[in-house]
């Protein structure tokens, strides 16, 4: 049975539709991210799941029981969920131990049991030694760990995270990504994670919901999302990509500067405009004409940047107008203006809407 089900959920502010027709099912123990640019409705969706606002249409169910609908909302405190906030919301008037133990206290556990559980969870987040500290005496990363411990110790049915890493510096953010995933693997709590950072979502999630302007663009596992984006928005938002516009001419599809056999291209027989996404990593560069089964296109290096981990080349097919972005390993050095061959696997070209 599904743990959490959102059915056609919508949220309207006056004439503005912040979230529209949002449907999603989470299986128990699943980690799902809501990913999208700011203002795409992801936080609104999370707050509806938490019960801080009612949906204007649709329903939310947990364990088969309805918890939200436009006419009735189970208040947040009755949902057995917990949440980690963007500001952490660590209460500055309580010590680390009191913060973490608060939810257990509300659940009327005995003194000894609270102590035991608090100590155990502080061990897990490596904060045991700081139990008696006040939040003002903690660093940002430590506060983040307290927020995690406080949310997990109550063993919630569902854990909600609202951009929890956005206030940390880059190094700490990367460390905490893995920490969040590690805690998830340890406790198997069904989790909804809101972020605008694609690498955060990719590291942590089983599935990612890409949202744009209040609507779901695509729901898939991270690697599927990257390799098989369904829309132009997803292809552009997740990683970098080349958009290739093609037109059907007989048995071929004509692109800017080269053409490919229609039979080898996904969806080339469909109707409508033919727009393909081709990742920079899926293109090979060679000085000699390659003789594999792939498409070979003669081209010229138009520009390049070196980023340490890879080269980012702009390569213009001869007779084409727009250069393509191509990523190669750091040892593949080509001078600007030199002639090269592009090697393209037609099956890596994904037709997008």
329: Cβ contacts below 8 Å, ≥ 6 apart? 310, 311
Q: Pick the closer one to another protein by CB: 103 or 317.
A: 103
Q: State which residue, 85 or 294, has the beta carbon closest to another protein.
A: 85
Q: Which is closer to another protein, CB of 116 or CB of 289?
A: 116
**DSSP secondary structure code for residue 276 in this structure:** E
Query: What length is written for the chain?
Result: 353
Beta carbons within 8 Å of 327's beta carbon, 6+ residues apart: 280, 281, 283, 310, 311, 312, 313
Q: Measured between alpha carbons, how far is 83 from 189 in angstroms, rounded to an integer?
A: 12
Contact residues for another protein (CB under 8 A)? 50, 52, 65-69, 71-83, 85-87, 89, 91-93, 102-104, 106-109, 117, 150-151, 154-155, 157, 160
- Cα–Cα distance between 280 and 20 in angstroms, integer? 33
- What order do you get walking across the sheet with 81-84 strand by strand? 81-84, 158-162, 190-195, 31-35, 207-212, 215-220
* Shortest Cβ 66–another protein spacing (Å): 7
Kindly tell me which of 80 and 213 has the beta carbon lying closer to another protein. Answer: 80
Structure tokens at 264: 């080898």
Nearer to another protein, 94 or 332 (CB): 94
Nearer to another protein, 82 or 241 (CB): 82
Beta strands in 141-205 (DSSP E): 158-162, 190-195
3-state secondary structure of 218: strand
Contact (CB, 8 A) for 21 and 8: yes
Give dist(CA 256, CA 318) in Å, integer. 9
Minimal distance, residue 150 CB to another protein, in Å = 7
Contacts of 194 (CB under 8 A, 6+ apart): 33, 34, 42, 43, 45, 46, 160, 161, 162, 163
Q: How far is the CB of 20 from another protein (least distance, A)?
A: 23
Alpha helix (H) residue ranges in 69-169: 96-106, 111-124, 140-152
Closer by beta carbon to another protein, 53 or else 227: 53
Q: Compare residues 71 and 291 and give the one whose CB is closer to another protein.
A: 71
Q: Which is nearer to another protein, 52 or 178 (CB)?
A: 52
Minimum gap (Å) between residue 90 Cβ and another protein:
8
Give dist(CA 118, CA 107) in Å, integer: 14
C-beta of 111: minimal distance to another protein in Å?
15
Q: What are 234's two structure tokens? A: 């997803």
């Amino acid at each position: 049975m599904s743990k959490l089900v959102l059915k056609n959920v919508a949220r309207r502010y006056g004439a503005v539709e912040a979230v529209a027709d949002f449907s999603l099912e989470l299986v128990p123990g699943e980690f799902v991210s809501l990913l999208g640019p700011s203002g795409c409705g992801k936080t609104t969706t999370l707050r509806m799941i938490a019960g801080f606002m009612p949906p204007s249409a649709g329903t939310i169910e947990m364990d088969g029981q309805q918890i939200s609908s436009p006419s009735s909302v189970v208040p947040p405190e009755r949902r057995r969920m917990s949440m980690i906030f963007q500001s952490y919301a660590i209460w500055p008037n309580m010590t680390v131990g009191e913060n973490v133990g608060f939810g257990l206290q509300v659940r009327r556990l005995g003194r000894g049991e609270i102590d035991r559980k608090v100590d155990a969870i502080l061990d897990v987040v490596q904060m045991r030694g700081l139990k008696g500290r006040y939040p003002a005496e903690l660093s940002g990363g430590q506060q983040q760990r307290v927020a995690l411990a406080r949310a997990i110790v109550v063993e919630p049915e569902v854990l909600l995270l609202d951009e929890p890493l956005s206030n940390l510096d880059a190094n700490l953010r990367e460390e905490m990504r893995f920490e969040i995933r590690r805690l998830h693997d340890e406790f198997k709590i069904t989790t909804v994670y809101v972020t605008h950072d694609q690498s955060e979502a990719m590291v942590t999630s089983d599935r990612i919901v890409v949202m744009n302007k209040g609507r779901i663009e695509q729901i898939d596992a991270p690697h599927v999302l990257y390799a098989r984006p369904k829309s132009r928005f997803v292809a552009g938002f997740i990683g970098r990509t080349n958009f290739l516009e093609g037109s059907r001419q007989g048995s071929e599809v004509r692109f800017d500067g080269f053409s490919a056999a229609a039979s080898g291209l996904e969806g080339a027989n469909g109707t409508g405009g033919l727009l393909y996404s081709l990742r920079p990593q899926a293109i090979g560069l060679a000085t000699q004409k390659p003789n594999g089964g792939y498409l070979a296109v003669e081209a010229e290096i138009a520009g390049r940047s070196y980023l340490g981990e890879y080269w980012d080349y702009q390569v213009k097919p001869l007779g084409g107008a727009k250069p393509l972005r191509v990523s190669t390993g750091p040892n593949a050095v080509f001078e600007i203006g030199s002639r090269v061959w592009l090697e393209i696997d037609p099956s890596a070209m994904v037709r997008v809407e």
